[in-house]
Amino acid sequence: MNVTVALWLSQDAVVNGSIYALLALALVVVYTVTRVIFVPQGEFISYAALSLATLQSGAVPGTVYLLIGGGLLIAVLDGSAALRKRKFKRLSAVLAENLVLPFAIAGAAWWAATRPDDLLIQVVVTLAIVTPMGPMLYRLAFQPVANASVLVLLIIAVAVHYMMTGFGLVFFGGEGVRTHLFPSAQFQLGVLNITVQSLAIVATSLVLIVLLAVLFGRTVYGKALRATALNRVGARLVGISTEFSSRLSFGLAALIGAVSGILVSPITTIYYDTGFIISLKGFVGAIIGGMTNYPLAALGSLIVGFLESYSSFWASAFKESIVFTSIIPVLLWRSLTSHRLEEDDEP
Amino acid sequence: MSRRVLMWAAIGLLAVAPVVLSDFYVTLLNYIGLASIVTLGLVLLTGVGGLTSFGQAAFVGIAAYTTAVLTTRYGVSPWLSLPAALLLTLPIALFLGFITLRLSGHYLPLGTIAWGIAIYFLFGNLEMLGKYSGIAEIPRLSLFGWSLGDGRHMYYPIWAITLVALIAVDNLLDSRTGRAIRSIKGRTKMAESFGVDTSRLKIILFVYAALLAALSGWLYALFLRYVNPTPFSLNAGIEYLFMAVIGGSTEVWGAIIGAALLTMLKEWLKDILPSIINQSGNYEIVVFGLLTILLLHRTRDGLVPFFAALLPAEKATLPRATAPALPARIQPPRGEPLLDIRDATKRFGALAAVSGLSFEMRAGEVLGLIGPNGAGKSTVFDLMTGILPANEGEIRFRGERIDRLPAREIARRGIARTFQHVNIIPSMMVLENAAIGAHLRGSAGVLSASLRLDRTEESGLQHEAAQRLDWVGLGSQLFEPAGALPLGSQRLIEVARALCADPALLLLDEPAAGLRYMEKQALADLVRRLRQGGVSVLLVEHDMEFVMGLVDRIVVMNFGEKLAEGSPPEIQNNPAVIEAYLGSVV
C-alpha cells in the first residue's frame, strides 16, 4: 500500500463514515425517545435512493402508494375515533394530515417525474415522500403498544422491516440502481483526487449534524425530545406529549434515512434490501459510541468507515466479518470498566 | 380440559404423527422440533431472563459445522461429534456472554446482531468450511447398527430430545435457581440482596441457551446431512426470537407453539400467496410481518399465555415434607456489638442524602430509625446492604467491615431487608416470592434442578417459606399470584421473604404502611417474637404509635444527619425532634 492508496481509502472511509454517523444519530434518537431499536431505519435509505432513481427515469415511484395507503389507514382509525367523540376540529386535522398531504405529495411526485432534469425538485419530492412515513409508521405499528417491553417493540420493528423490504421488492423489483446526483468534477489536493461528490456528502452530513445539534439544544421541540428521552413519566407530567415526541423522533429518523439514501445512491448500487446492512453499520457505530452519547457515536461511525474501507483493501472477503466483529473489543472494554449493578428499565 | 390432559394429548399426537403423515409433513415436523430446541433456550434466556439474543442461529451453526467437519474430514463418529460440538460452543458462549451480559439491556440484542452477521460471513468465506457452497455428505447417524439416516427415522431422536429439553427447562424454572432466574429481569437489586449472583446467573443462562442451540445444530447437520451458511444467518436468529415471542416467551410450551406456527405459516404463505396474488414478489414476508404486528397488538405476551388463561388453573399444593426443617442460624449472643455505622456519607451529586451518620446496634435490640420524608433513612438501608457504595465512612457488622462488599456477600453474613417500594415479582406465586429469601439456605444448581434431583432440598425451602408466610398471616394465600394481593399484603410478603433468609439483622423499611390496625398489631407481635428468638431488627416506620410501642431505642435522622438518639420517651420530648416533625414553634 502506498500513500495514494491510503489517502484514497481514507477518503472513502470518511465519506461512508459520515453517512454512518447520520444513521447512528437517528438510531440513538429513536431508541432514547421511544425505546424502539429501530431496525427498519435502513428501509428509508433504500426507499429514498430507489424513489429518486425512479423519478429520474421519469416514472412515479411506488412508495407514493404506500404513503397514500398508510394515510388512508390512519385517517380511518383516527378519523372515526374523532368522529365518535364529536371532535370535529381534530377530525379535520387528521384528514388534512393523512389524506390531503399524501395526495399533494403524490401530485408533486407525478409532476416531478415529468421533469427528469430538475434535480433539486426530485430530491425535495423524494424527501417529501419518505419523511412522512416515519410518523405514520409510529402511529400504525408502535403507538398501540407504546408501553410494551423493549423486546416486543424490537420484534415489531423487525416485522416492520420485513414488511417494508417486501414492499420495496414489489415497488422497485430486484434491480439495483445508481442515481446521478453530483457533477463528476474532481480536483487535486496534493496526491489526492477529491471528487465534488465526496465533498458534497461530507458537507451535507456535517450541516445536518449541526442542524440537529441546534434542534436539540435550542428549540422547544428538541427539548421536548430530550425530556422524553430522560424520563417519559416526568415529561408527561410537565405537559409534553410523549406521543408527539415519539412521532417527531420517527420523522427525524425517516428524514435522516432519506438524506442518507440520497447521499449514498450515487456511490453505491442500491437494491431494495441494501439499506438494512448500511443501517446496521450505523448501529455498530452507535454501539462503539455507547448508544446514548452522540459525539462518541459519530466517532464510532467514522471508525466503522475506516475499518470497512481498509479491510476491503486487505481482506475484502472478510470485510463484513471484520466490521461487525469490531464491536467485540469495544464491548469487552466496556464490560471491564463498568462495575455498577445495572437495573434494567423494565420489570 | 386440564393442562395435563392437553399435554399428554399433544405428546400422543406427536408419537403417532410419522405413522400417519406423509414425508412432507414429517420433514416439516422435524424442522419444528429443531427450531423448538433453540427457542426453548430463548424462552429461558429472553422470555424469563429478559436477555434478548438474535445470535442463537450462530450457535446452531457452530455446532452444525463442527459436526460436519469432524465427521466428513476426520471420520469421527456422529455420536462423538456431539460432545465436541458442545465443548466448542461452551467457551465461545462463555466469552460472548462475559463481554455482553454485564452491560445494560440494549447492548445484548445489538451485540448479538453483530456477531450473528460476523459468524455468517465467516462461515461463507472460510476455505475449510466449504465457503458458501458448504459441506455435503455428512454420514448418517446410526444406533446399534440401525441407520437413522432419512428424515422419517430422525423424527424420533429429534422429538425425543425436544421433549427432554422442554422438561429440563420446565424443571429448571420450577426450582431454587428458577426463582432466581425469574428475578433477574428488572429485579437484580432484590435478587442480589438475597444472595443471588445475578451476573454469574446471566452467564449460566446464556450458556444453557447456547448449548440447547448447539444440540439443535448437531441434530440439524445429521438430519439434513448437508450444511451451508444460510440457515445460520442473522435472519434465522431473528426467526427464533419471533418464534419465542409469538408463542409466548415466558412459557416453555410457547417455544413449541411458536416454532410450529412460524414454520407452518411460512410454508403455507409460500404455497398459498402466489395463487391469490397473481404476481411474483416477496409477498409472504409482507403478510408475515403484518400478521406478527397484528398479533402482538392483540396479545403482547404471545399465544400460549393468552390461551392458558382460558384453561382452569392448576391447583398447586405444597410438596410432601420430605426434608427436616432447615437448620436455623445460631444468633449472636444478646448484647454483643452487632452493627457499627461510623461517619457514613452518601452523596448524589451535590446532595448529601446521608452525611456523617454514626450509630450502633447491639444483638437482640429493636432499633427504630425515624425522620421526616427525605431524611435519608432508605439510603442508610441501601448503604448497609451494599446496594449503594458509601462515599465516606465505614460500616461494620459483627466486627467485620461490610461497606465494600457486594450485596450478596452481605446477605450471606446474615442481613436481610424489605424494600420501601415493594419489590416482588407479581407474576410469581406468593410462596415462590417468599422462597427467594431462602436462596442462600439451599444449594441446588442448574443441573440438578433440570434433572429434578433437587426435590428434597426444594421441599425444605418451600415448607420454610410457607411457615414464614403463615407467621405474617398470609398462610391461606400461598398459591395466589403475588401481584393480585393488596399493597399491605405485598409488604408482608416482603417481610416473610426477609424472614426466609433466617437473618441475624432484619431491616424493615416501612412494613406497616398500608396495613389495617389489626394487621399492625399482628406485625408488632411478630417483631416481639423475633426479638425473643434473638433476631435484631432495624425498623424504619412513620407510624409513631407502632414504633414507640415496639422499639428499645430510636435514632432520628433529618437532612441526612443524626438529629437525636435515645429511648422512646426521650425522643418524644426532644425539642429538636418535635421541631423537625412539626416545624419550628415561633
Q: Are residues B480 and B394 in the same domain?
A: no
pLDDT reported for residue A211: 87
pLDDT reported for residue B280: 59
Using an 8 Å CB-CB cutoff, list chain A residues near B286. 162-163, 166-167, 170
Q: Mean of the per-residue pLDDT values for chain B?
A: 87
Q: Are residues B449 and B586 in the same domain?
A: no
pLDDT reported for residue A343: 46
Provide the sign of the torsion angle of the four alpha carbons A102, A105, A110, A113, taken in this order.
negative
Residue B281 has pLDDT above 70, yes or no: no
Mean pLDDT of A126-137: 95
Residue B586 has pLDDT above 50, yes or no: no
Q: Which chain A residues in 144-203 lie under 8 Å from chain B, judged by CB atoms?
A: 144-145, 148-152, 154-156, 158-163, 165-167, 169-170
Residue A347 has pLDDT above 50, yes or no: no
Q: With b meaning 16 or more CB within 10 Å and e meaning fewer, what string describes B60-75?
A: bbbbbbbbbbbbbeee
Is the CB of A166 less than 8 angstroms away from the CB of B283? yes
Report whether B220 contacts B84 (CB < 8 A).
Answer: no
Read off the pLDDT of residues A265-314 as tens digits, 9 standing for 90 and up.
Answer: 888 888 888 888 888 888 888 877 766 667 777 888 888 888 888 888 88
Mean pLDDT of B138-146: 73
pLDDT reported for residue B88: 94
Residue B545 has pLDDT above 90, yes or no: no
Give, to the nearest 10 degrees, the angle between helix A294-314 and helix A3-34: 140
At position B430, the amino acid (one-letter code) is: V
Residue B429 has pLDDT above 60, yes or no: yes
Q: Are residues B128 and B190 in the same domain?
A: yes
Read off the pLDDT of residues B80-103 as tens digits, 9 standing for 90 and up.
Answer: 899 999 999 999 999 888 877 766
Report whether B487 contacts B437 (CB < 8 A).
Answer: no
Residue B408 has pLDDT above 70, yes or no: yes
pLDDT reported for residue B42: 94
pLDDT reported for residue A65: 92
Chains A & B: contacts with CB separation below 8 Å: 162
Mean pLDDT of A3-9: 80
Using an 8 Å CB-CB cutoff, list chain B residues near A334. 103, 107
Cα separation, A283 vs A268, whole angstroms: 19
Cα separation, A36 vs A23, whole angstroms: 15
Read off the pLDDT of residues A72-88 as tens digits, 9 standing for 90 and up.
Answer: 999 999 999 888 988 88
Nearest CA in chain A to B286: A163
Cα separation, B388 vs B400, whole angstroms: 18
Provide the sign of the torsion angle of the four alpha carbons B408, B412, B415, B417, taken in this order.
positive
Is the CB of A284 less than 8 angstroms away from the CB of B114? yes
Instruction: Provide, rounded to the nearest whole percent, the portion of chain B with pLDDT above 90.
Output: 40
**Alpha-helical regions (H) of B198-282:** 198-224, 234-247, 252-276
Mean pLDDT of B68-83: 89
Interior CA angle at A272 toward A268 and A278, to 5°? 50
**Alpha-helical regions (H) of B43-150:** 56-73, 78-101, 107-125
The distance of B323 to chain A (nearest Cα, Å) reads: 34
Cα separation, B211 vs B206, whole angstroms: 9
**Alpha-helical regions (H) of A173-270:** 196-218, 220-230, 232-237, 242-264
The distance of B47 to chain A (nearest Cα, Å) reads: 9
Q: Does A291 touch chain B (CB under 8 A)?
A: yes
**Which of A240 and B40 is assigned the larger pLDDT?**
B40
Instruction: Provide, rounded to the nearest whole percent, the portion of chain A with pLDDT above 90.
Output: 25
Domains in chain A: boundaries: 3-179+198-337
pLDDT reported for residue B502: 92
Cα separation, A290 vs A300, whole angstroms: 9
Is the CB of B296 less than 8 angstroms away from the CB of A162? no
Read off the pLDDT of residues A48-64 as tens digits, 9 standing for 90 and up.
Answer: 999 999 998 888 999 99
Using an 8 Å CB-CB cutoff, list chain A residues near B99. 328, 331-332, 335
Q: With b meaning 16 or more CB within 10 Å and e meaning fewer, what string describes B302-332?
A: bbbbeebeeeeeeeeeeeeeebeebeeeebb
pLDDT reported for residue A346: 41
A177: DSSP letter: B
| Residue B262 domain flag | no
Give the count of domains, chain B: 3
> How remote is the C-alpha of B447 from its chain's centroid?
16
pLDDT reported for residue A63: 92
**Which of A337 and B561 is assigned the larger pLDDT?**
B561
Q: Does B122 touch chain A (CB under 8 A)?
A: yes
Read off the pLDDT of residues A140-168 as tens digits, 9 standing for 90 and up.
Answer: 999 998 888 887 888 899 899 989 998 99
| Residue B288 domain flag | no
Is the CB of B293 less than 8 angstroms away from the CB of A141? yes
pLDDT reported for residue B172: 94
Q: Are residues B438 and B498 in the same domain?
A: yes
Residue B209 has pLDDT above 60, yes or no: yes
The residue out of B233, B254, B286 marking a domain boundary is B233
The residue out of B203, B233, B263 marking a domain boundary is B233
At residue B104 the predicted structure's pLDDT band, cuts being 50, 70 and 90, is low
Is the CB of A151 less than 8 angstroms away from the CB of B249? yes
Give, to the nearest 10 degrees, the angle between helix B56-73 and helix B23-42: 120
Read off the pLDDT of residues B518-543 as tens digits, 9 standing for 90 and up.
Answer: 889 989 999 999 999 889 999 998 88
**Which of B148 and B558 is assigned the larger pLDDT?**
B558
Q: Does A117 touch chain B (CB under 8 A)?
A: no
- Cβ-in-10-Å burial (0-12, 13-18, 19+) of B49 comes to buried
**Which of B167 and A329 is assigned the larger pLDDT?**
B167
Residues 6 or more apart in contact with residue A175 via CB below 8 angstroms: A271
Cα separation, B135 vs B128, whole angstroms: 9
Cell of A276: 438494512
Dihedral in degrees, nearest 10, Cα atoms A152, A155, A161, A166? -120
| Residue B524 domain flag | no
The distance of B4 to chain A (nearest Cα, Å) reads: 29
Q: Are residues B77 and B109 in the same domain?
A: yes
At position B257, the amino acid (one-letter code) is: I
The distance of A129 to chain B (nearest Cα, Å) reads: 20
The distance of B416 to chain A (nearest Cα, Å) reads: 18
Instruction: Provide, rounded to the nearest whole percent, the portion of chain A with pLDDT above 70.
Output: 93
- Residue B469 has phi, psi (to 5 degrees) of -65, -35
Q: Are residues B141 and B209 in the same domain?
A: yes
Q: Are residues B439 and B548 in the same domain?
A: no
The distance of B518 to chain A (nearest Cα, Å) reads: 32
The distance of B454 to chain A (nearest Cα, Å) reads: 28
Using an 8 Å CB-CB cutoff, list chain A residues near B125. 317-318, 321
DSSP string, A266-318: TTS-B-TTHHHHHHHHHHHHHHHHTSS-HHHHHHHHHHHHHHHHHHHHH-GGG
- Which candidate, B575, B576, B573, B538, places its Cα nearest to that of B558? B576
The residue out of B233, B250, B278 marking a domain boundary is B233
Helices and strands (H and E) in chain B: how many: 23, 14
**Which of B151 and B343 is assigned the larger pLDDT?**
B343
Q: Does B98 touch chain A (CB under 8 A)?
A: yes
Range of the domain at B458: 422-502
Q: Are residues B174 and B29 in the same domain?
A: yes
Read off the pLDDT of residues B316-371 as tens digits, 9 standing for 90 and up.
Answer: 778 777 777 888 888 888 889 999 999 999 998 888 889 889 999 999 999 999 98
Residues 6 or more apart in contact with residue A132 via CB below 8 angstroms: A67, A71, A101, A102, A105, A251, A254
Cα separation, A11 vs A306, whole angstroms: 9
Nearest CA in chain B to A40: B289
Is the CB of B292 less than 8 angstroms away from the CB of A332? no
Nearest CA in chain B to A174: B281
pLDDT reported for residue B302: 82
Cα–Cα separations (whole angstroms), residue A252 to A34, A208, A245, B211: 13, 11, 10, 41
Residue A344 has pLDDT above 60, yes or no: no
Q: Are residues B111 and B164 in the same domain?
A: yes
At residue B105 the predicted structure's pLDDT band, cuts being 50, 70 and 90, is low
pLDDT reported for residue A136: 95
Residue B431 has pLDDT above 60, yes or no: yes
Mean pLDDT of B543-550: 88
| Residue B562 domain flag | yes
Q: Does B100 touch chain A (CB under 8 A)?
A: yes
Using an 8 Å CB-CB cutoff, list chain B residues near A152. 245, 296, 300
Is B243 in a helix, a strand, or coil? Answer: helix
Is the CB of B297 less than 8 angstroms away from the CB of A145? yes
Is the CB of B102 less than 8 angstroms away from the CB of A342? yes
Residue B263 has pLDDT above 80, yes or no: yes
Task: Please state, as a whole number, how many other Cβ atoms lie within 10 Å of the Cβ of residue A55.
Answer: 27
For chain A, the residue count is 347
**Could you give the count of Cα atoms lying within 13 Å of B354 in the half-sphere of its Cβ?**
26
pLDDT reported for residue B112: 83
Using an 8 Å CB-CB cutoff, list chain B residues near A149. 300
Q: Are residues B140 and B163 in the same domain?
A: yes
pLDDT reported for residue B106: 65
pLDDT reported for residue A345: 41
Residue B277 has pLDDT above 70, yes or no: no
- Residue B397 has phi, psi (to 5 degrees) of -125, 120
Using an 8 Å CB-CB cutoff, list chain A residues near B290. 159, 163
Read off the pLDDT of residues A215-253 as tens digits, 9 standing for 90 and up.
Answer: 888 888 888 888 888 788 888 888 888 888 899 999 999
Residue B225 has pLDDT above 90, yes or no: no
